[in-house]
Amino acid sequence: MIAETGHYALILALGVAIVQMVLPILGTRFNDPRLAAVAVPAAQIQFLLVCIAFAALTVAYVTSDFSVLNVWQNSHSAKPMLYKISGVWGNHEGSMVLWVLILALFGAAVATFGANLPRRLQANVLAVQGSIAVAFLLFIVLTSNPFLRVDPAPFDGQGLNPVLQDPALAFHPPFLYAGYVGFSMAFSFAVAALIDGRIDAAWARWVRPWTLAAWMCLTLGIAMGSWWAYYELGWGGFWFWDPVENASFMPWLAGTALLHSALVMEKRDALKVWTILLAIITFSLSLMGTFLVRSGVLTSVHAFAVDPARGVFILGIMAVFIGGSLALFAWRAPLLSQGGLFAPISREGALVLNNLLLTVACAAVFVGTLYPLALESVTGEKISVGAPFFNLTFVPLIVPLLIAVPFGPLLAWKRGDLLAAAQRLMVAAIVSVAAIIAVLAVHGSGPWLAPLGIGLGLWLIVGAATEIATRSKLFEVRWSESWRRMRNLPRAAYGTALAHAGVGVMVLGLVATTAWRSERIEALAPGSSIEIAGYALTFEGVKERQGPNYSELVGMFEVTRGGQPVTTLIPSKRSYAVEKSATTEAGIHNSWRGDLYIVLGDPLKDGAYSVRVYFNPMVRLIWLGALLMFFGGGVSLSDRRLRVGAPKRAKAKAQPAAAAGK
C-alpha cells in the first residue's frame, strides 16, 4: 500500500509540475498575474508530493519490504540501519527520486523565500524549474519506477554492493546531487532572464547565493567521494581521473567560474552575457554528469544498470535542455545590454582571467573524458585516457590561475595597480621562496617541480591572509584600530580568504603526497617486519572476525617509530555472504606528518601474506583544503549583503531598538 502511495504521489507530482511549467509562462506572456501566481503553490505542492514519494520508498527500505522489486534488489534484512537508509539512493531508481526531491526542494525554496523577487522573474524561474522536474519525473515514471512489485515476495533481499556500505558514501550522493541540482537554479534564472530579455545587477544578487550554496555542496560531495576512494578502494590514491570523477569535477570548475563572474556582474554590471552563458554551461555539465553516470556508458561502480532505454531518455533530456537553452541564448542574448567598462589590469580583469583559465581547463577535462567515447562510437577503437593526459593538460592550465589568485582581491575595481598589489604580496613571495629553498635543502633528490609546488601552496595561503591584513591595515596602524577594522570587514572578505587559503592547503597536500609518497609491496610471514618512512611494522598474524553482515580476515600489525610503540593497525579483507562479494579495508594511521596505509593482500605459502604499505605525506591536507573551501563558501553565504532584502529587515529591527534606547 505504501509503495502504491509513493507511486501515486510521483505521478501527481508530474501533473503538478506540468501545471507549474505551463501556466506561469502563459501568465507572464499575456500579463495575467493570476496565472503567473500559480507558480508559487504549484512548486510547494510538487515538493510535498515528491517528499511523500521519497518517504514511501524510505519506509519500504527501513521495513525491508521485499515485495518492492527495488528494495529486494538493493537491500537485505541483515544490513545495518544506516545502509538500509542510504540504500534508498544507492541504486539507480532511488537516486533519481533523490535527484527530483532536491530539485523540488530548490523550487519550493524560491517559491517560499522569494517573496522579494519581481513577480515576473519568480514566475518564469519557477516555470523553468517545473520543466526540468517534468523531464525527470517522466524519466522516473516511464523508465525507472522504484515502486514496482515482485510477486511472490522473496524471503530476503540481494543486498547492497559492499563497497557502497560506508559512512562517507552514505552522504556522498546527497551532497553531490545538491550541487548538481543546485546549479539548476542558476540555469532557471538565466533562462528566465533570456525569456524576459531583461537582466540587471539585482539578478546576479539573487543568483549568487544559490550558486554559492550549490557550489559548497558539490565541493563537499566531491571531497567525500575522493576520501572514500582513498580509504575504501585500497589503492592509496585520492583521485584517479576516472570519467565519473571528471563528470562531477567539470560542473565544479564551471560553477567556480560562475561564482566569480556573477560577482563581476553584481558589483560592476559587466560580463552579463557571459554569466548567462556560463550558468547554462554549468547546468548542462551537471546534466551531462548525470547522463554519464546513469546511462552506463562508462566502466564504473556508478553504472548501476546498463539499460539503453534510460541512456537514450537522458540523452533526449540533455538535447532538449542544452540545445533549447543555447538556441534561446543565441536568439535573445543580443537584447541584453552591455555593461561597465574596465581596464585589463583590474579586479574585473583578474576575474575574467579566472573565468578564462577555469573554462579552458574544464574544456581540457571535457575532451579527455569524452574523446574515448567519441572515438569508440566512430571507429570502434577502445582507448583509455588516464592521469598522464590530465597531468599534461589540466595542470599547466590551472597553475597560472593559482599563481594569479592572490592578486585578484588586491586589485581595485575598474582600474587596478599591479605594482602596488605586488608590493603588498612581498611577504607572501618571501615566504614561498624561503619554503622552496628549505624544501630543496631537505629533499634535494626528489622531483624538481615539488619544491615549487610547496612554494605555490604557501603563496596562496599567505596571499589570502595578505588581503585581510591589507584591508585591516595590520602593522600600519595601532593594534586596536586594526582589530576594529578586522571586525568590521564584511564576512564575504573572510569567506574569500578562507576559500583561497583552502586551495593553497589542498595544493600543499597534493604536491607532498604525489612527490614524496613511499610504497612497499612485500611478502610478510608472521613475526617479520618491514620499514617505511621511519616506521617499523611487525606482522603479528591474522585472525577471523564476524561483522553484522560480513565475515573478515584481520591482519594485525604493530607499528613502532624509533622504538616507541605508535599504534596497532588492523587491515582486513571482508567477504559479504549475501552479495557474494569482497572488499578490502585498509588499516590507516593518520597524523599531520602523513598517513601510514596498509593493505592486506593474498595468502602466500607458509602463512605469509602479500602486504602493500604506503606512506602518504600530509595527505589529509587535501581534504582539509576542501573543507576550508566549503566553510569559506559558508562564511560568504552568511554575509548580509548576500541576503536579498536583508537591509530592509535590519532597518525595521533597528528602529524599535533605537526607540527603546530613547
Partner 1 sequence: MTRKQRRGVLIGTCLVVLGVAVGLVLYAMRDSIVFFYSPSDIAEMQVAPGQRIRLGGLVETGSVRRDQGTTVHFSVTDGAKVMPVTYTGVLPDLFREGQGVVTEGAVMPDGTFKADNVLAKHDENYMPPEVAAKLKEKGVWREGEATGAAGKVTTQ
Binding residue (CB under 8 A) for partner 1 from 22, 26, 55, 149: 149
Considering only residues 358 to 377 of the shown chain, the ones binding partner 1 according to CB under 8 A are 360-361, 363-364, 367-368, 371
For residue 155, the SS3 value is coil
Nearer to partner 1, 305 or 566 (CB): 305
For residue 537, the SS3 value is strand
Binding residue (CB under 8 A) for partner 1 from 429, 582, 627, 644: 582
What x/- string results for residues 274 through 293 when contact with partner 1 is judged by CB under 8 A? --------------------
Q: Is 521 in the site for partner 1 (CB under 8 A)?
A: yes
How many other C-beta atoms are found inside a 10 Å radius of the C-beta of residue 480? 8
Binding residue (CB under 8 A) for partner 1 from 48, 530, 610, 627: 610
Q: Is 305 in the site for partner 1 (CB under 8 A)?
A: no
CB 626 within 8 A of CB 601: no
Q: Is 91 in the site for partner 1 (CB under 8 A)?
A: no
Q: Select the span of 130-138, 221-229, 533-541, 598-606 touching partner 1 (CB under 8 A).
A: 598-606
Q: How far is the CB of 520 from partner 1 (least distance, A)?
A: 10
Please choose, from the candidates 106, 130, 100, the residue with its C-alpha nearest in 3D space to the C-alpha of residue 39. 130
Q: Is 396 in the site for partner 1 (CB under 8 A)?
A: yes
Q: How far is the CB of 392 from partner 1 (least distance, A)?
A: 4
Q: Is 126 in the site for partner 1 (CB under 8 A)?
A: no
Q: Is 72 in the site for partner 1 (CB under 8 A)?
A: yes
Q: Is 312 in the site for partner 1 (CB under 8 A)?
A: no
In DSSP terms, which residues pair with 531 in a beta bridge?
Answer: 536
Q: Is 531 in the site for partner 1 (CB under 8 A)?
A: no
Nearer to partner 1, 82 or 383 (CB): 383
Q: Is 4 in the site for partner 1 (CB under 8 A)?
A: yes
Instruction: Tell me the DSSP string of 284-338.
Output: HHHHHHHHHHHS--S-STT-----HHHHHHHHHHHIIIIIHHHHHHHHHGGGSPP
Q: Is 323 in the site for partner 1 (CB under 8 A)?
A: no
Q: Which amino acid is at 114?
A: G
Measure the CA–CA gap between 216 and 220, rounded to whole angstroms: 6
Binding residue (CB under 8 A) for partner 1 from 34, 382, 651, 662: 382
Measure the CA–CA gap between 459 and 401, rounded to whole angstroms: 12
Q: How far is the CB of 149 from partner 1 (least distance, A)?
A: 5
Q: Is 487 in the site for partner 1 (CB under 8 A)?
A: no
Q: Is 244 in the site for partner 1 (CB under 8 A)?
A: no
Q: Is 379 in the site for partner 1 (CB under 8 A)?
A: no
Nearer to partner 1, 234 or 587 (CB): 234
Please choose, from the candidates 49, 153, 143, 62, the residue with its C-alpha nearest in 3D space to the C-alpha of residue 101. 49
How many other C-beta atoms are found inside a 10 Å radius of the C-beta of residue 460? 26
For residue 532, the SS3 value is strand
Q: Select the span of 143-151, 243-251, 455-463, 484-492 touching partner 1 (CB under 8 A).
A: 143-151
Q: Is 22 in the site for partner 1 (CB under 8 A)?
A: no
Q: Is 478 in the site for partner 1 (CB under 8 A)?
A: no
Please choose, from the candidates 40, 208, 227, 322, the residue with its C-alpha nearest in 3D space to the C-alpha of residue 636. 208
**236 φψ region: left (φ > 0), alpha (ψ -120 to 50), beta (else):** left
Q: Which residues contact 612 (CB under 8 A, 6 or more apart)?
A: 234, 236, 519, 520, 521, 598, 599, 601
Please choose, from the candidates 165, 27, 14, 177, the residue with its C-alpha nearest in 3D space to the C-alpha of residue 94. 177
Q: Is 577 in the site for partner 1 (CB under 8 A)?
A: no
Strand pairing class (572-576; 551-561): antiparallel
How many other C-beta atoms are found inside a 10 Å radius of the C-beta of residue 27? 22
Nearer to partner 1, 18 or 599 (CB): 599
For residue 409, the SS3 value is helix
CA 246 to centroid of chain Cα atoms: 11
Q: How far is the CB of 159 from partner 1 (least distance, A)?
A: 11
Label each residue of 97-142 as H, E or C: HHHHHHHHHHHHHHHHHCCCCCHHHHHHHHHHHHHHHHHHHHHHHH
Binding residue (CB under 8 A) for partner 1 from 197, 316, 386, 527: 386
Binding residue (CB under 8 A) for partner 1 from 69, 181, 216, 628: 69
Q: Is 606 in the site for partner 1 (CB under 8 A)?
A: no
Q: Is 397 in the site for partner 1 (CB under 8 A)?
A: yes
CB 44 within 8 A of CB 20: no
Q: Is 591 in the site for partner 1 (CB under 8 A)?
A: no
CA 384 to centroid of chain Cα atoms: 24
First to last CA, the chain: 64
Q: How far is the CB of 375 from partner 1 (least distance, A)?
A: 9
Q: How far is the CB of 574 from partner 1 (least distance, A)?
A: 9
Q: Is 581 in the site for partner 1 (CB under 8 A)?
A: yes
Query: How would you label 59-87 residue by residue, b for 16+ Cβ within 10 Å and e otherwise?
Result: ebbeebbbebbbbbbbbbeebeeebbbbb
Q: How far is the CB of 394 from partner 1 (least distance, A)?
A: 9
Q: Select the span of 132-140, 150-158, 470-478, 543-551 touching partner 1 (CB under 8 A).
A: 150-158
Nearer to partner 1, 381 or 479 (CB): 381
Binding residue (CB under 8 A) for partner 1 from 344, 527, 534, 547: 344
Q: How far is the CB of 128 from partner 1 (least distance, A)?
A: 30
Give contact residues for partner 1 (rule: CB under 8 A).
4, 69, 72, 145, 148-152, 154, 158, 161, 163, 233-234, 299, 301, 306, 341-344, 352-353, 356-357, 360-361, 363-364, 367-368, 371, 381-386, 388-389, 392-393, 396-397, 521-523, 573, 579-584, 599, 601-602, 604-605, 610-612
